[in-house]
Amino acid sequence: MNIASFLLPKAEVTYLKDNMSLRQGLEKLRRSGFTAVPVIDVEDRYVGTVSEGDFLWNILFYNQKPEDVSAKHLETARVRSIIRGDKFRPVCIDTAMETLLEQAKSQNFVPVIDDRNVFIGIIRRSEIIKFFAERGKLS
Protein backbone atom coordinates (compact mmCIF):
# COMPACT_ATOMS: atom_id res chain seq x y z
CA MET A 1 0.00 0.00 0.00
CA ASN A 2 1.38 3.39 -0.96
CA ILE A 3 1.01 5.79 1.94
CA ALA A 4 1.10 8.82 -0.39
CA SER A 5 -2.69 8.78 -0.58
CA PHE A 6 -2.81 9.51 3.18
CA LEU A 7 -0.23 12.30 3.07
CA LEU A 8 -1.18 15.80 4.17
CA PRO A 9 1.35 17.80 2.12
CA LYS A 10 3.78 20.23 3.70
CA ALA A 11 1.90 23.19 2.20
CA GLU A 12 -1.10 22.28 4.39
CA VAL A 13 0.87 21.48 7.57
CA THR A 14 1.76 23.85 10.40
CA TYR A 15 5.48 23.55 11.02
CA LEU A 16 8.25 25.60 12.59
CA LYS A 17 11.69 26.50 11.28
CA ASP A 18 14.49 25.48 13.63
CA ASN A 19 16.03 28.97 13.55
CA MET A 20 12.87 30.70 14.85
CA SER A 21 13.05 32.25 18.29
CA LEU A 22 11.12 30.49 21.04
CA ARG A 23 8.72 33.43 21.06
CA GLN A 24 8.02 33.07 17.33
CA GLY A 25 7.60 29.31 17.70
CA LEU A 26 5.25 29.68 20.65
CA GLU A 27 3.13 32.23 18.80
CA LYS A 28 2.83 30.01 15.73
CA LEU A 29 2.06 26.94 17.84
CA ARG A 30 -0.61 28.85 19.79
CA ARG A 31 -2.25 30.16 16.60
CA SER A 32 -2.30 26.67 15.10
CA GLY A 33 -4.20 25.11 17.99
CA PHE A 34 -2.02 21.99 17.80
CA THR A 35 -0.09 20.56 20.73
CA ALA A 36 2.88 19.39 18.63
CA VAL A 37 4.28 20.38 15.23
CA PRO A 38 7.15 19.30 12.97
CA VAL A 39 10.34 21.36 12.78
CA ILE A 40 12.41 21.79 9.62
CA ASP A 41 15.71 23.49 8.87
CA VAL A 42 16.52 26.13 6.25
CA GLU A 43 16.92 23.39 3.63
CA ASP A 44 13.47 21.95 4.48
CA ARG A 45 14.95 18.84 6.11
CA TYR A 46 12.98 17.36 8.97
CA VAL A 47 14.86 17.86 12.25
CA GLY A 48 12.27 16.87 14.83
CA THR A 49 8.98 17.72 16.45
CA VAL A 50 8.28 20.11 19.31
CA SER A 51 5.32 20.16 21.66
CA GLU A 52 3.77 22.58 24.10
CA GLY A 53 5.53 20.64 26.85
CA ASP A 54 8.93 21.14 25.23
CA PHE A 55 8.39 24.90 25.30
CA LEU A 56 7.09 24.82 28.86
CA TRP A 57 9.93 22.73 30.27
CA ASN A 58 12.51 24.92 28.53
CA ILE A 59 10.94 28.09 29.94
CA LEU A 60 10.76 26.61 33.43
CA PHE A 61 14.36 25.38 33.22
CA TYR A 62 15.68 28.88 32.47
CA ASN A 63 13.23 30.65 34.79
CA GLN A 64 12.92 28.98 38.15
CA LYS A 65 9.59 30.68 38.85
CA PRO A 66 6.89 31.17 36.19
CA GLU A 67 6.63 34.86 37.11
CA ASP A 68 10.32 35.28 36.18
CA VAL A 69 9.87 34.27 32.53
CA SER A 70 12.35 36.35 30.59
CA ALA A 71 11.35 37.89 27.29
CA LYS A 72 15.07 38.04 26.49
CA HIS A 73 15.38 34.26 26.72
CA LEU A 74 12.32 33.78 24.49
CA GLU A 75 13.90 36.06 21.87
CA THR A 76 17.44 34.69 21.96
CA ALA A 77 16.83 30.95 22.31
CA ARG A 78 15.99 29.05 19.12
CA VAL A 79 13.45 26.34 18.49
CA ARG A 80 16.30 23.95 17.59
CA SER A 81 17.43 24.11 21.23
CA ILE A 82 14.29 22.35 22.51
CA ILE A 83 13.96 19.56 19.93
CA ARG A 84 14.12 16.07 21.35
CA GLY A 85 14.87 13.94 18.31
CA ASP A 86 13.71 10.63 19.74
CA LYS A 87 10.02 11.49 20.01
CA PHE A 88 8.67 11.50 16.45
CA ARG A 89 10.64 9.41 14.00
CA PRO A 90 9.95 10.24 10.35
CA VAL A 91 9.11 7.64 7.73
CA CYS A 92 9.68 7.44 3.99
CA ILE A 93 6.87 7.36 1.46
CA ASP A 94 7.30 3.59 0.94
CA THR A 95 6.77 2.70 4.62
CA ALA A 96 4.30 -0.09 5.36
CA MET A 97 0.96 0.79 6.93
CA GLU A 98 1.69 -1.56 9.83
CA THR A 99 4.79 0.52 10.68
CA LEU A 100 2.69 3.68 10.59
CA LEU A 101 0.17 2.12 12.94
CA GLU A 102 2.92 1.20 15.39
CA GLN A 103 4.25 4.77 15.42
CA ALA A 104 0.76 6.28 15.66
CA LYS A 105 0.21 4.51 18.97
CA SER A 106 2.31 7.16 20.70
CA GLN A 107 1.96 10.25 18.49
CA ASN A 108 -0.82 12.18 16.76
CA PHE A 109 0.93 12.27 13.41
CA VAL A 110 3.82 10.66 11.58
CA PRO A 111 6.25 12.97 9.72
CA VAL A 112 7.08 11.87 6.16
CA ILE A 113 10.37 12.61 4.43
CA ASP A 114 11.83 11.91 1.01
CA ASP A 115 15.13 10.12 0.33
CA ARG A 116 17.07 13.37 1.02
CA ASN A 117 15.45 13.78 4.48
CA VAL A 118 13.36 16.67 3.11
CA PHE A 119 10.06 17.06 4.94
CA ILE A 120 7.14 16.43 2.57
CA GLY A 121 4.20 16.26 4.99
CA ILE A 122 2.51 14.23 7.68
CA ILE A 123 0.07 11.38 8.03
CA ARG A 124 -2.48 11.92 10.77
CA ARG A 125 -3.17 9.17 13.26
CA SER A 126 -6.88 9.44 12.44
CA GLU A 127 -6.19 8.48 8.79
CA ILE A 128 -4.16 5.46 9.87
CA ILE A 129 -6.86 4.29 12.28
CA LYS A 130 -9.53 4.82 9.62
CA PHE A 131 -7.55 2.71 7.14
CA PHE A 132 -7.31 -0.25 9.52
CA ALA A 133 -10.84 0.13 10.87
CA GLU A 134 -12.27 -0.08 7.35
CA ARG A 135 -10.39 -3.34 6.84
CA GLY A 136 -11.51 -4.73 10.19
CA LYS A 137 -7.92 -5.12 11.37
CA LEU A 138 -8.12 -3.11 14.58
CA SER A 139 -8.84 -5.00 17.74
Q: How far apart are CA 56 and CA 105, in angstroms?
A: 24
Model confidence pTM above 0.85: yes
pLDDT tens string 111-127 = 999 999 999 999 999 99
Domain count of the fold of the chain: 1
pLDDT tens readout for residues 15-56: 999 999 999 999 999 999 999 999 999 999 999 999 999 998
74 located within any domain? yes
CATH number at residue 130: 3.10.580.10
DSSP-derived secondary structure for 33-80: T-SEEEEE-TT-BEEEEEEHHHHHHHHHHH-SSGGG--HHHHHHSBGG
Does a structural domain hold residue 130?
A: yes
- The verdict on residue 9 lying in a domain is yes
The reply to whether 139 falls in a domain is no
Q: What is the domain range of residue 29?
A: 3-134
